């Protein structure tokens, strides 16, 4: 079976402790010994964190030792689901720091709100754990830098949850674009139109739900009253916790634009605007309507979003359009279509490609993470790639938040040129005793 967890841990000097005999793992029907499985913990169980855990366990090469969430109802419900599906009964935690003290845990899934990503990921790496962290990498430029620095300092494997990097549709498309068959790539247009992007309906403040440690949920963010429109799922529309559609979908689709030309450098010059123009009775700080243009060395990238609606170009609510000399390719997670430019007087021809292996992007991404935990290779969406595209998305939001119109970036100084307002938002302010990590 190649490199096993046991041989990897021996080689890395981490050591291991055997689980109780007879531990049950139902998913995937694995015949791999429990002692040879990667032992994982998850922080944030309500949605993405649990979904990633499920895919990782389905590889048959991992077992769950810890689940952590500040909402007891979520924690108990997910623990019951896990017990039913796999027979596993991991230890349950409210405070993630307690879970990270467990030396038996090899890797941690960070599925918490964006404002927690930095602390959860860095503390996990300090504790000797590899990390699968949901996108965007972090909620600010400086926090992205800290996670990347921690990965380098502690030598940990970090997979960022931009699962399209592992998807067969996107990998097939990138091979085709880079073959040169369509000539030069001139422009990439990305868009995301989703109803939830307009924010949740406004509701009055209310008491903190029973079983929720709201103070711990707030973490380093400022004190604020409890409001359901800023809590489960809805938090991403408020700057203290997330960045709206720009960072939620922007990192996925802008990543596909950068990948087409293997761009790994930070943004240099960005122009754009953001406004709230629909659903004004909605609870939000982020923008429902936004356009951003990135000036690259030899092509352009354009981002557009419209929260509150679901229709977009080519009948797709989201997608990426690659405009080349000899044709245009339009892609989403299900397929991609080539539109070949016709000669004068001719119509264009369309060819659709559905390169589905029967395995979802998430399944392939989870398997790649486990592969890399064992081999110590760089994962498909490394911390460097995740950091870079997160900066592209954050720049779009900073444009709108500061009404700057345009921003120029000095990568060596990690500052914007002649823009004090944007520079003031690079490093977040932490509250209630939480401190930015020192790496």
Q: What is the pLDDT of residues 402-428, one digit of tens each?
A: 999 999 999 999 999 999 999 999 999
Residues 269, 209 share a domain: yes
Residues 321, 213 share a domain: yes
Q: What is the mean pLDDT of residues 3-32?
A: 38
Whether residue 31 contacts residue 63, with contact meaning beta carbons closer than 8 Å, is answered with no
Whether residue 185 contacts residue 261, with contact meaning beta carbons closer than 8 Å, is answered with yes
More confidently predicted of 354 and 164: 164
Tell me what pLDDT residue 358 has: 80
Please name which of 273, 52, 320 lies closest in space to residue 163, comparing C-alpha atoms. Answer: 52
The answer on pLDDT for 295 being more than 70 is: yes
The model's pLDDT over 311-342, given as tens digits with 9 standing for 90+, comes to 999 999 999 999 999 999 999 999 999 998 77
List the domain range (segments joined by +) for residue 309.
Answer: 168-357+388-423
pLDDT band of residue 396 (cuts 50, 70, 90) is very high
Residues 289, 142 share a domain: no
Rounded Cα distance, 112 and 199, in Å: 19
Tell me what pLDDT residue 6 has: 41
pLDDT band of residue 16 (cuts 50, 70, 90) is very low
Which residues does residue 303 pair with via DSSP β-bridges, in sequence order? Answer: 190, 292
Domain assignment present for residue 308? The answer is yes
Residues 106, 248 share a domain: no
Please name which of 350, 326, 300 lies closest in space to residue 189, comparing C-alpha atoms. Answer: 300
Residues 265, 408 share a domain: yes
What average pLDDT does the structure give for the chain? 91
The answer on pLDDT for 391 being more than 50 is: yes
> What is the crossing angle of helices 141-154 and 383-402, to 10°?
170
Residues 40, 133 share a domain: yes
Residues 117, 174 share a domain: no
Tell me what pLDDT residue 344 has: 60
Name the percent of the chain lying above pLDDT 70: 90
Q: What is the mean pLDDT of residues 217-224?
A: 98
Total structural domains in the chain? 2
Rounded Cα distance, 415 and 418, in Å: 9
Tell me what pLDDT residue 15 has: 30
Tell me what pLDDT residue 341 has: 78
Whether residue 416 contacts residue 407, with contact meaning beta carbons closer than 8 Å, is answered with yes
Any idea what the Cα angle at residue 292 is, between residues 238 and 380, rounded to 5°?
A: 80
Q: Name all contacts of 351-358 with Cβ < 8 Å and 24+ positions apart.
A: 353/169, 353/172, 353/173, 354/169, 355/168, 355/169, 355/172, 356/168, 356/169, 357/168
pLDDT band of residue 7 (cuts 50, 70, 90) is very low
The model's pLDDT over 224-263, given as tens digits with 9 standing for 90+, comes to 999 999 999 999 999 999 999 999 999 999 999 999 999 9
The answer on pLDDT for 279 being more than 70 is: yes
Residues whose CB falls within 8 Å of the CB of residue 180, separated by 6 or more in sequence, listed in order = none
Whether residue 288 contacts residue 276, with contact meaning beta carbons closer than 8 Å, is answered with yes
Domain assignment present for residue 24? The answer is yes
CATH number of the domain that 280 lies in?
A: 3.30.360.10
The answer on pLDDT for 26 being more than 70 is: no
Tell me what pLDDT residue 347 has: 58
């Amino acid at each position: 079976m190649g490199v096993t967890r046991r041989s990897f841990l021996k080689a890395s000097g981490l050591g291991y402790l055997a689980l109780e005999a007879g531990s049950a793992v139902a998913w995937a029907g694995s015949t791999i010994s429990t002692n040879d499985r990667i032992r994982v913990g998850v922080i944030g169980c309500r949605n993405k964190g649990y979904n990633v855990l499920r895919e990782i366990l389905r590889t048959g090469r991992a077992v769950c030792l810890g689940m952590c969430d500040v909402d007891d109802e979520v924690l108990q419900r997910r623990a019951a689901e896990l017990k039913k599906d796999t027979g596993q009964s991991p230890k349950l935690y409210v405070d993630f720091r307690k879970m990270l003290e467990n030396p038996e845990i090899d890797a941690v899934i960070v599925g918490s709100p964006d404002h927690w990503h930095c602390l959860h990921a860095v503390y996990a790496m300090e504790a000797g754990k590899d990390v699968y962290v949901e996108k965007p990498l972090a909620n600010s430029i400086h926090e992205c830098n800290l996670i990347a620095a921690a990965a380098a300092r502690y030598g940990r494997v970090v997979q960022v949850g931009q699962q399209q990097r592992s998807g067969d549709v996107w990998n097939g498309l990138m091979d085709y674009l880079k073959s040169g068959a369509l000539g030069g790539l001139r422009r990439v247009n990305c868009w995301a139109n989703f109803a939830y992007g307009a924010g949740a309906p406004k509701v009055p403040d209310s008491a903190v739900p029973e079983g929720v440690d709201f103070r711990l949920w707030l973490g380093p963010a400022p004190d604020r009253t409890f409001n359901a429109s800023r809590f489960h799922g809805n938090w991403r529309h408020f700057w203290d916790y997330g960045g709206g559609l720009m960072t939620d979908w922007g990192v996925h689709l802008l990543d596909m634009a950068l990948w087409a030309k293997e761009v790994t450098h930070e943004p240099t010059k960005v122009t754009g605007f953001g406004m709230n123009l629909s659903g004004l009775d909605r609870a939000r700080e982020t923008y429902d309507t936004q356009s951003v243009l990135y000036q690259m060395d030899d092509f352009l990238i354009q981002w557009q979003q419209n929260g509150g609606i679901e229709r977009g170009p080519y009948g797709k609510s989201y997608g990426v359009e690659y405009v080349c000399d000899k044709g245009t390719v339009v892609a989403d997670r299900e397929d991609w279509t080539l539109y070949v430019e016709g000669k004068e007087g001719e119509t264009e021809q369309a060819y659709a490609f559905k390169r589905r292996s029967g395995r979802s992007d998430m399944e392939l991404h989870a398997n790649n993470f486990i592969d890399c935990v064992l081999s110590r290779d760089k994962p498909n969406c490394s911390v460097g790639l995740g950091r870079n595209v997160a900066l592209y998305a954050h720049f779009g939001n900073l444009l709108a938040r500061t009404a700057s119109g345009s921003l120029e970036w000095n990568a060596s100084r990690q500052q914007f040129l002649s823009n004090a307002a944007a520079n003031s938002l690079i490093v977040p302010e932490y509250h209630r005793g939480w401190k930015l990590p020192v790496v």
